[in-house]
Structure 1
Amino acid sequence: MGHGGDVIDELVTDHREVEDIFGRIAALPFADKDRKVYADQVTMELVRHSVAEEAYLYPAVREHVPGGDAMADKELEDHAKAEQIMKDLEDCDADDPEFDRLIGMLMNEIRSHVADEEENLFPRLRAACPAEALDELGNKVRMAKKVAPTRPHPSAPDKPPANKLLAPGAGLVDRLRDALTGRGKPD
């Protein structure tokens, strides 16, 4: 994560990376241990992506896009659903039948969310927001992803300023836990 370009280019690149990981999960047989590794990787990427969107993208949508409040609220609802699925998925091993159900739900939720953002929200934001502001938002999103949590925290605040204050601390703790446990890395 961290690719360059304006906020829309950055987030679309994230979307493609997540879809690539989903494809890796789907290509593996039931109970293959790498499915859990990839599920952890996709969770880490999605949480960082979501935190950055909540801190910078959705406030910009509210500010610049006509009807932006309703759009941002819908996206936050999508994030809440996905985050709960990811939280439930954390407790499942690849050989657990619940793993398949949850990863399927997550894929459907994320694919629907991505389609909505790319077909509706992003074009409206690009039309309403100056290019310099989109570039600045891209930089802010990249910085936010570097310090964002890597684990789902469904009860954490999802709107500024509370999310911007709490995310770096949670992110530090999550990254330490990931390093100690080897989460998201193959054996």
Structure 2
Amino acid sequence: MTNPRRNGLTSVADQSEDERGGPGSILSRQSADHRDLDELMHAYEREPDAGARGRIVAELSERALRHAFAEETVLFPVYRRFLPAAGGDDELTRHIEGDHQRVNEVLEDLQRADPSSAGYDAEVRRAFEVIRHDAHDEEDDLLPRLQQVASARQLRAIGAAWEAARLGSPTRPHPKVPRRPPGNVVAGAGLALSDRVQDVVDSLAPVGSTRRAVCGGVLAGLIGAAVVVVVEEVVAARTRAGLSGNCRLRPST
């Protein structure tokens, strides 16, 4: 590995894919997702049109929320299990969970805001700042610490479980949902379903449109379609991961 940082760890951002444990490793999956989020943030900063900016924020919101949910339900619990004696490290996951809460609150406000309104851009950049800060905390500190105590095979298993959680996660901000299991896991399934229904409704009949008024008659069909999507995503992800339930990884002995 190259160029250890001041904490003695080598950032995931400075490692090759092989050093991270391969493309399926949790380190590689997290790093790739961080890059995608960063590209969306740069796309927003380059875009002059308010409407296009709003669409970029909507896409980024969904990706960031899925990413955070997978962290809170899979990565952080596994991290705390692998590093039970490092009491200070739990403060790191609590700090990031607090940041996730703030991002949820900002994104909830942005969902209802007009992208051309005063203050919209400032709120967006506030969310960007927290997202970028968390990415550094995870790549420079949390993930390298996990790498020290988990084998490459375990990192890939964690990555598969993380991806399954990400695919079956809610897609909209929910600030009132607990940030830790079991509360977030219990709430997540129902919220993932309701979010997908709302996503379909918004896609077919945007708020304020004439079609919106008649959506009530087809809502049952949309719910059925959303259920199929959720189930297919989760089952497919778990099949690929070779998992039949929650990640039950234990540290190597």
TM-score, normalized by length of structure 2? 0.68
> What is the Cα deviation at residue 132 of structure 1?
2.2
Counterpart code for 2:57: A
Partner Cα distance (1:95, 1:70) in 2: 38
Counterpart position of 2:128 = 107
> What is the Cα deviation at residue 112 of structure 1?
0.9
> What is the Cα deviation at residue 133 of structure 1?
2.0
Q: 1:10 aligns with which of 29, 42, 56?
A: 29
Counterpart position of 2:209 = none
Counterpart position of 1:28 = 47
1:8-157 to 2 correspondences below 5 Å: 8-29=27-48, 31-65=49-83, 66-67=86-87, 68-157=89-178
Compare 32-41 and 128-137 and name the one that shifted more. 128-137
Counterpart position of 1:179 = 200
Partner Cα distance (1:27, 1:93) in 2: 19
Greater Cα radius of gyration, structure 1 or 2: 2
Partner Cα distance (1:13, 1:162) in 2: 28
Compare 123-132 and 142-151 and name the one that shifted more. 123-132
Counterpart code for 1:41: E
TM-score, normalized by length of structure 1? 0.91
Pairwise CA RMSD of aligned residues?
A: 1.4
Counterpart position of 2:14 = none
Cα deviation 1:75-104 (Å, max 9, x = unaligned):
111111111111111111210122101111
> What is the Cα deviation at residue 32 of structure 1?
2.4
> What is the Cα deviation at residue 28 of structure 1?
0.9
Counterpart position of 2:189 = 168
Choose between structure 1 and 2: higher helix proportion.
1
Where does structure 2 lack aligned partners over 5 or more consecutive residues? 1-22, 205-253
Partner Cα distance (2:178, 2:153) in 1: 28
Cα deviation 1:102-141 (Å, max 9, x = unaligned):
1110111111111111111111111122222211111111
| Number of residue pairs aligned between Structure 1 and Structure 2 | 179
Where does structure 1 lack aligned partners over 5 or more consecutive residues? none
4+ residue stretches of structure 1 with deviation over 3 A?
A: none
Counterpart code for 1:63: R
Partner Cα distance (2:24, 2:100) in 1: 23
Partner Cα distance (2:148, 2:53) in 1: 39
Partner Cα distance (2:50, 2:106) in 1: 20
Percent of matched pairs sharing the same residue:
28
Partner Cα distance (1:27, 1:94) in 2: 15
Contact 1:32 1:94 in 2 (8 A): yes
Could you say which structure has the greater relative contact order, defined with CA pairs below 8 angstroms and 6 or more residues apart? Answer: 1
